[in-house]
Chain A
Amino acid sequence: MKEILLIALPLIFAAAAFAWPNERTRSWLLPVACGLHTLLTMWLLINPPALAAIAWFGFDPLARAVLPMVSLLFLVCSIYGVSYLQIRSERKNRIFVTALLVMLGLLSLALQAQNLGLLWVAAEATTLVTVPLLHFNGTARAFEASWKYLLVGGTGIALSLLGSFCLGYASLHSGGSGDLTFTALVAQGSSLTRPWLITAWVLLLAGYGTKMGLAPMHTWKPDAYGEAPGMVGALLAGGTTTMAFVAILRVKQVVDAAGDGAMTERTLLAFGLFSMLVAALFLLSTRDFKRMLAYSSVEHMGILAVGAALGGAGILAALFHVWTNGLTKGALFLSAGNIRRAAGAQTEDKVAGMAWRSPASARIFVVGILAVTACPPFGVFFSELKIILATFQTNNPFVAVVFLGCLLFAFFGLTRLVFAIVDGRPRAAARATGKQLREKPGVIIPPLLFLALSLWLGLATPSLLRDTWTAAAKFLFPTP
């Protein structure tokens, strides 16, 4: 019952937001809805409900391992959203607030979906509802970014539907009854018709990989993250990509059960390392600090794919990384949004000396970059360390070498650009626009909260969460 409420609650609030008459007070619906959602998720995290056998959706171990993170991400972003929408009061916010809440409802549905078809419908609907969020700024560049997002994302989602059909046919051909719940597909195991299964895996990995932003299907990401408001970037980088990752994990579970685990691991490893490499190379040359965050996200999606390819220990580490990456990225996107507003531009040619113009945001940004490039004691360090340990456990020292090399280059690229922006003398353009922008507590506290969460995950990972991740890894990768 509560798991339905998790989906219905944001949707009800979305309807309320759409009907709400007042532009100024509408944004307060965001923290109220997200707060209730987080409370409900935490309750479910502590008291996991029993799973119905043939349910279309449910709070299963995997949903339990990631949904609380998405809920927390939305909560902190929604607090930021109230101040953000006050600053941007010149833009109408009816569609923006509604779309954000619908997105939360759909993500809750997609992460809990136990049925291949339902998962796809939720993923497709999430893609569509993100479009108005991306062109909130209403500029020509924002339209261009939304167009590319829709075209690339739409094609990706179409491929994943074709893949879902192939998986359905694999089940039907081997005598299945057309039941597309993951439990039923896993139960069919090695009887699934192999050629169809492989076709399905290729198409689903390409399709959901596009949504996740694995290279070379990542081309929508820099445009979308560069042009969207900071908080939308945070929700895309921590929410939508998590949904796509969970989708890949669920499909992988089916293909593994059919005895093709070696193939899924090899392909995921290849995509993961390639994404990390591409991201590291682009990070070395990009001049735009919001697009930089997109490449950093591509890199971390690569890390997740590598983790997922490394057996039970790797999946556990990847789920840990979903948390640390999502929450640390939150701090980065929100503070980058503040810097972007104060500077009036987002390339290193036009922005410098932000340590003077927006001191608090610049400090958060620098600390956030150090956190995301795996400096201890932040969470990302520990989750990446676990992935490296998993490479040695599974006897893949070569992977560890490439992995560490890419991390090093990414570190060079990120710090180069960040210090170019933070240090130096403020540019004339920023001096002109900078006066009227004070750093309100409403836009400073949320990124600080994210940093605190990242630190807390690193220093004192709660044993409850650790058990949840272990349970999910066991659920996905039952070691014989």
Chain B
Amino acid sequence: MSSALNLLIGLAMGLSLIALASSRLPSVIRAAAFQGMILGILPLLLEERFHWLVIAVATGTVTVKGFIIPNLLLRALRAANIDREMEPLLGFVPSLLLGAAAIIGAAALGNELPLRPEHAKTLLVPGAFATVVCGFILLMTRAKAISQVCGYLILENGIYLFGLLLINSTPLLVEAGILLDLTVAIFVIGIIVDRIQREFDTLDTRKQTFLRE
């Protein structure tokens, strides 16, 4: 059970690196979506008995993270007629190196932190921290609004991965609230992207320079 789990978490970490290395927006969006779908399946592996609530959470996560949000982003990309190049503020190779460093650091941190016996052999903690940091790197080093949203998505994916540690103990209400908030956040971000597009005719946040000190 835990080897399948670790395989999927490893895959998710690899997808964060792919997102860091891609030079085109649609492939970043697809990497984030695929990562979201993998995370959606994980609760089924963690839970021994198939409770209907777990199945509902898994289906919901896969639908939202894997289909609805990527579709919204791809639609925004088409509607706003955005150039598909990434325009990194930090080159792809340095970003990848930073991402790799993040994974090593997360693995080291994961070894330091005490874990419950049932989590001890899994990659949940290192995977979560590595994904959060990769998302953060993407968020900070890309100029376009949509790629920043992708970075935010990957960051959220990492946090969701961490949340799996608590899936048996926290009330499901908290989980549901998280999912809802995520969707709404992306919705609102999407609307703003749309507005920025109309106001600036560009999604390059470097050109938003009215406000600075």
| A interface list, Cβ under 8 A from B | 117-118, 120-121, 124-125, 128, 131, 135, 140-141, 143-148, 150-151, 154-155, 158, 161-162, 165-166, 168-169, 172-173, 176-178, 180, 193, 195-196, 199, 222-223, 226-227, 282, 285-286, 291
Contact = CB atoms under 8 A, between A and B. Distances in A.
B159 A162 contact: yes
Nearest to A165: B162
Contacts of B173: 117
B132 interface: yes
A150 B166 contact: no
B15 interface: no
Given A131-B188, A143-B192, A165 B132 contact: no
Contacts of A146: 192
Interface in B163-213: 163, 165-166, 168-171, 173-174, 177-178, 181, 184-185, 188-189, 192, 195-196, 199-200, 205, 208, 210-211, 213
Contact of A144 (B136, B178, B210): B210
B114 A143 contact: no
B115 A173 contact: yes
Among B116, B148, B169, max chain A CB count under 10 A is at: B169
Nearest to A127: B185
A223 B155 CA distance: 24
Contact of B169 (A140, A147, A172, A223): A172
Contacts of B163: 165
Interface in B91-136: 112-116, 132, 136
Contacts of A155: 136, 139, 152, 155
A162 B159 CA distance: 6
Contacts of A169: 165-166
Among all A-B residue pairs, the 8 with the closest Cβ atoms: A178-B169, A117-B174, A121-B177, A140-B199, A223-B211, A144-B208, A124-B181, A141-B210
B159 A140 contact: no
Contacts of B132: 162
B21 interface: no
A102 B137 CA distance: 34
B145 interface: yes
Given A121-B181, A144-B211, A166-B162, 5 more contacts: A140-B200, A162-B158, A172-B166, A177-B169, A180-B170
A367 B173 CA distance: 48
Given A158-B155, A162-B132, A143 B181 contact: no
Given A147-B208, A169-B165, A154 B185 contact: yes
Contact of B156 (A120, A158, A193, A282): A158
Contact of B165 (A117, A118, A161, A165): A165
Nearest to A286: B213
Nearest to B129: A162
Contacts of B185: 124, 128, 150, 154
Contacts of A177: 169
24 contacts: A117-B170, A121-B177, A125-B181, A143-B192, A144-B210, A144-B211, A145-B211, A150-B185, A151-B152, A154-B152, A155-B139, A162-B159, A165-B165, A166-B162, A168-B169, A169-B166, A172-B166, A172-B169, A173-B116, A176-B169, A180-B170, A180-B174, A195-B112, A227-B211
Contacts of A124: 177, 181, 185
Contact of A178 (B112, B136, B166, B196): B166
Interface string B146-164: 0010001001101100110
B192 A150 contact: yes
Given A158-B152, A161-B159, A117 B177 contact: yes
Contacts of B196: 143-144, 147
B39 to A, nearest CB: 14
Given A154-B185, A169-B166, A222-B211, A147 B116 contact: no
Contacts of B205: 147
Nearest to A194: B114
A143 B210 CA distance: 11
Nearest to B167: A178
A155 B184 CA distance: 15
Nearest to B156: A158
Contacts of B148: 151
B210 A165 contact: no
B213 A168 contact: no
Nearest to A193: B114
Given A155-B152, A177-B169, A226 B200 contact: no
Contacts of A121: 174, 177-178, 181
B178 A161 contact: yes
B113 A195 contact: yes
A168 B192 contact: no
A144 B132 CA distance: 25
